[in-house]
Every structure is written in C-alpha cells, then in structure tokens.
C-alpha cells in the first residue's frame, strides 16, 4: 500500500512529506493502524544530534494514536476498528519485560532508537523503492498509516478524542509515570518539577491529581503560568537561592524532585532542595559529564534515571484517560494540532517554545 509520510533524509534537512510504500500486510503479532494524530516529541528531534547513530532516511514519530485497520494472526488481542494509543517497543521476553518493566527491555535501544525491528526491514520503502529505516520506536507514525507490533498498542475507549491521545504513549506517560510509578507520590508528599515542558507539566498534573504539593521551576513565564493553572507553586529557574526557596515552600525540602532539563546547575539545585532521604529522578538524556557538588548526596538523598515513567503502558494509559475524564489530568490543554504537511512549522514552534506539545494530524 502507498500512503503519505514525513521522511527525514538528512540530519540537517527539513522533513519532506512524500509517498512511502508498505510491501506486505501485518505479519504474525502485528497490526496496521490508520494514524489519527501523532505527537512531536523532542526525542524525535534529537535524531538530528545523534551523530549518525540513528539510520536515515527514516520516518520518525513515536506518539501515535489511531484506528486498527488489519491484524496479523488471531492472538493480537485487537480487532479492526479498535482505537489504540501506540507506545514504545519491547521484546516481551527478557527478564525486565517479564518482570513488568518493559521500558528497561534488554533490546530497548535496538528496537526503538536504531532503526527498529529487523525481521522484515525490506517491507518499508520510499516511493522510488529505496529502503527506509524499518521502524522508529515500533511505529514510524509521522504518517497516514503505521505497522506496529500489537504489544505496543493500548486499546482505548472510542469516545475519547483519538487525535489528541498519542502523547499519552510517551511524553505525558513519562512525566506522569515518574510521579505515579517511580515516586509513588500521594497525599501529603512534596514534589519539585524542574522544567515545565510537556514531560514536566504532565508530572505537575499527575502530582496534583495524586494530592501532592507541587513546585514547578522554569525560566519561561508562560510555562510557569501554565503550571500555576495546574495548581503548582511557580518558581523562576534563575531565582537566587532556588533550593532554599523550595525547602521553605515544602516545609523542609521536597520528598521527590524530577528534572526534565538535563541542566547540571538545576540538577544540583534539585538535590539541594530535597529533604533527607529524598529522591531525584532524571528523565532527560545527559550529553556531558554531570559534576555533583559536595554535599548534594548527603543524608540519604538519592538520584536515579527514569525511562518512560517506569510504565507498563497498558496499565498507565487507561489510568491517565480516566483522570482526564474526571478533569484531573487536562493534557489536552497542552496540545496544538498541525496538519502533517506542516511538520517543519511544528518543529520550529517546538524548538522556540511557542508550543508545549505539537500533534500532527495526517
């Protein structure tokens, strides 16, 4: 089948919406999905800085949502017409997958970051028959259709706004999962969130929904205003004595802190803002050494990297849609939609901070 997709051919080039070809229908355990909307995530844009590790040309996109068109085999658990949110790929067989931690799959990097599954790489080509990287995060959903392992797909209620749900598969899942799964935050806990982008604001919403006191730190006034609308206490990232401000606001220090920025200065500030035994979670990929200042890990304070919010998507995504229905996780307020043809405009707006979460609609 032939359909439109946004192809990235060079690390410095814009996306080009062009015709691509799938040579065959779903294999055993796969589903073909008609994409209703796909979030544009900074992980997609980070391919430009991957120093050649991510193969091009490729169709990116890993926050897709859509309708099942066709299934491969009888054991997918899905049927044509089902509405699904697509999440990250995992093998389902390694120790971590079997232990309910698919984000730490032994093959996570190979399946998600470096071209996708290799079982049938020749099926996906451009209009001239030239090979494309087989699958990005199990999806390649900057497109009208995506061929997806059924394991990646989470069925959702058909009454939900399908075109907006894709970011629940990664960005919003990561921020909310860090708070609800990794921290297990609840009533009376204190959470400091550093960086009020898509992941950070999802963490803010999840923390307030859990009954925690939340402090949000960012350098953009409009992002702080958004966090305040979600009932967080806003703090400018450039404030002098930032850790002291957080300790006073939280009655002695935050029990949990989440850094989404990758900034060494803010990571050290976050550690200093923790109470004894507090936990700092990092979700951003670090590109340089991380120098920790003396005293930042004293008194039982801990630091840990969190991948995909420690989530089992089939469990967390329904929880988040339930919170949205109850008015307690209004993720739709962070989204601006763009036609797929306007993907380069969406990328510019995302880079410039003019939009929190762009969603591309084929």
pLDDT in the model for residue 121: 58
Alpha carbon distance 340, 47 (integer Å):
19
Alpha carbon distance 189, 156 (integer Å):
31
Neighbours of 346 (CB within 10 A): 24
Burial class (CB within 10 angstroms; exposed 0-12, middle 13-18, buried 19+) of 327: exposed
Alpha carbon distance 31, 50 (integer Å):
29
Place of tokens 């009454």: 159
Alpha carbon distance 239, 305 (integer Å):
26
pLDDT in the model for residue 189: 97
H helices within 27-170, ranges in order?
42-45, 95-98, 108-112
Nearest-CA neighbor of 267 among 230, 227, 217? 217
Place of tokens 């232990």: 99
Alpha carbon distance 58, 213 (integer Å):
42
Instruction: Report helix angle 313-325 to 198-209, nearest 10.
Output: 70
Alpha carbon distance 171, 97 (integer Å):
20
pTM, rounded to two decimals: 0.95
Q: What is the pLDDT along the chain (362 residues), one digit of tens a residue?
A: 999 999 999 999 999 999 999 988 899 999 999 999 999 998 888 888 876 677 899 999 999 999 999 999 888 999 999 999 999 999 999 999 999 999 999 999 989 987 666 665 557 899 999 989 878 999 999 999 999 999 999 999 999 999 999 999 999 999 999 999 999 999 999 999 999 999 999 999 999 999 999 999 999 999 999 999 999 999 999 999 999 999 999 999 999 999 999 999 999 999 999 999 999 999 998 888 999 999 899 999 999 999 999 999 999 999 999 999 999 999 999 999 999 999 999 999 998 889 999 999 99
């Amino acid at each position: 089948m032939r359909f439109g997709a946004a192809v990235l051919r060079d690390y410095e080039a814009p996306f080009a919406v062009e015709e691509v070809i799938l040579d065959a229908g779903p294999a055993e355990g796969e589903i073909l999905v008609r994409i209703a909307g796909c979030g544009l995530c900074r992980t997609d844009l980070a391919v430009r800085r991957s120093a050649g590790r991510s193969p091009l040309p490729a169709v990116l996109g890993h926050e897709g949502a859509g309708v099942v068109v066709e299934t491969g085999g009888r054991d997918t658990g899905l049927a044509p017409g089902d509405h699904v949110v697509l999440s990250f790929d995992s093998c389902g067989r390694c120790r971590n997958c079997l232990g309910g931690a698919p984000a730490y799959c032994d093959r996570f990097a190979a399946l998600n970051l470096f071209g996708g599954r290799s079982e049938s790489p020749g099926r996906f080509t451009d209009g001239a028959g030239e090979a494309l990287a087989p699958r990005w995060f199990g999806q390649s959903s900057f497109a009208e259709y995506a061929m997806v392992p059924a394991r990646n797909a989470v069925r959702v209620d058909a009454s939900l706004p399908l075109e907006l749900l894709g970011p629940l598969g990664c960005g919003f899942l990561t921020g909310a999962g860090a708070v609800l799964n990794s921290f297990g935050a609840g009533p009376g806990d204190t959470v400091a969130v550093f960086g009020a982008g898509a992941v950070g604001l999802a963490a803010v919403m999840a923390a307030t929904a859990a009954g925690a006191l939340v402090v949000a730190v960012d350098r953009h006034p409009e992002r702080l205003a958004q966090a305040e609308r979600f009932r967080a206490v806003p703090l400018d990232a450039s404030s002098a004595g930032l850790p002291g401000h957080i300790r006073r606001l939280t009655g002695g220090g935050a029990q949990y802190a989440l850094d989404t920025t990758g900034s060494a200065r803010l990571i050290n500030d976050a550690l200093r803002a923790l109470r004894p035994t507090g936990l700092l979670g990092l979700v951003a990929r670090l590109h340089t050494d991380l120098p920790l200042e003396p005293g930042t890990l004293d008194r039982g304070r801990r630091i840990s990297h969190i991948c995909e919010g420690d989530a089992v998507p089939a469990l967390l995504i329904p929880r988040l849609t339930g919170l949205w229905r109850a008015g307690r996780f209004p993720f739709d307020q962070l989204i601006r939609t763009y036609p797929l043809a306007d993907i380069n405009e969406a990328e510019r707006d995302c880079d410039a901070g003019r939009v929190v979460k762009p969603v591309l609609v084929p």
